[in-house]
Amino acid sequence: MTSLQDWKPAPFPPAKVLDGRYCRLEPLDVARHLDDIWSAAAGHDAIWDWLPATPPKSKDEYRALLETMVAKAGIVPLAVIDKADGKAKGHLWIMEIRPEHGVFEVGWITYSPALQRTRVATEAIYLVGEYGFSLGYRRYEWKCNDLNEPSKRAALRFGFQPEGVFRQHMVVKGANRDTAWFSILDSEWPARARAFQAWLAPGNFDAQGRQKASLGEIARTQG
């Protein structure tokens, strides 16, 4: 068993801009980000199918929801900015942060259709992981409803390892939620990070923006 006698608890992640090639994660600012997020998400109620909230029916409702996020202790809510046009098109949280154990999670991922299945969407997950591990965290978590097959596929694509299911873990929107758990450890992150970087490289995409190699293929090739 590896000794952790010299390991020091990681600091709580300061809210800061995380800058990538295709996206920028900014500390959520309701006044600055609401209009763009509402414009990208309004009317797309399916975004909220697996989230513990109902679709906001107006910009004011969305404002109130974002305000609760900004006010909530123990999380770092971030707006996802598409650098192609500088607009916020979604948001996510760094959450379940346990500095004393070196654990952090990416969650409450709220991507508008304009972000889904894009390089921006993938890079945001990479940026959160790179940030957490750079601070000395040991474990990067992903959790979702066990019925949420797209989320489970995404976790595997990103290189998170499945760890099992917590049965009757939550009651969400009046229904039972069994929660599927996934993680990436600090010892695994360097290889995962190299795969992310190789997939995100401009040379991995053709003139139509189609990937030449999938993230999984790159990870397998790199070993």
Please write the tens of the pLDDT for every residue from 31-78: 999 999 999 999 999 999 999 999 999 999 999 999 999 999 999 999
Give the Cα separation of 38 and 24 in Å (integer): 18
Confidence check: pLDDT of 199 > 70:
yes
Give tens-digit pLDDT for 74-113.
999 999 999 999 999 999 999 999 999 999 999 999 999 9
* 188-213 exposure pattern, b = at least 16 Cβ within 10 A, e = fewer: bbeebbebbebbbeeebeeeeeeeee
Q: How far apart are CA 185 and CA 169, in angstroms?
A: 23
What CATH topology corresponds to 18-222? Aminopeptidase (3.40.630)
Instruction: Round to whole Å and give the CA distance between 125 and 20.
Output: 11
Residue 7 has pLDDT above 90, yes or no: no
**Residue 1: what pLDDT?**
59
pLDDT higher than threshold 90 for residue 2? no
- pLDDT for res 155: 98
Sketch the domain layout of the chain as residue ranges. Answer: 18-222
The number of residues in the chain equals: 223
Cβ neighbour number for residue 115 with a 10 Å cutoff: 24
Mean predicted confidence (pLDDT) in 20-25: 98
Is the pLDDT at 223 greater than 80, yes or no? no
* pLDDT of 147: 98
Kindly list the strands in the beta sheet with 161-172, ordered across the sheet, starting from the edge strand earlier in the chain.
Answer: 18-19, 23-27, 76-82, 87-98, 103-111, 139-145, 175-185, 161-172
Determine what percent of the chain is predicted with pLDDT higher than 70.
99
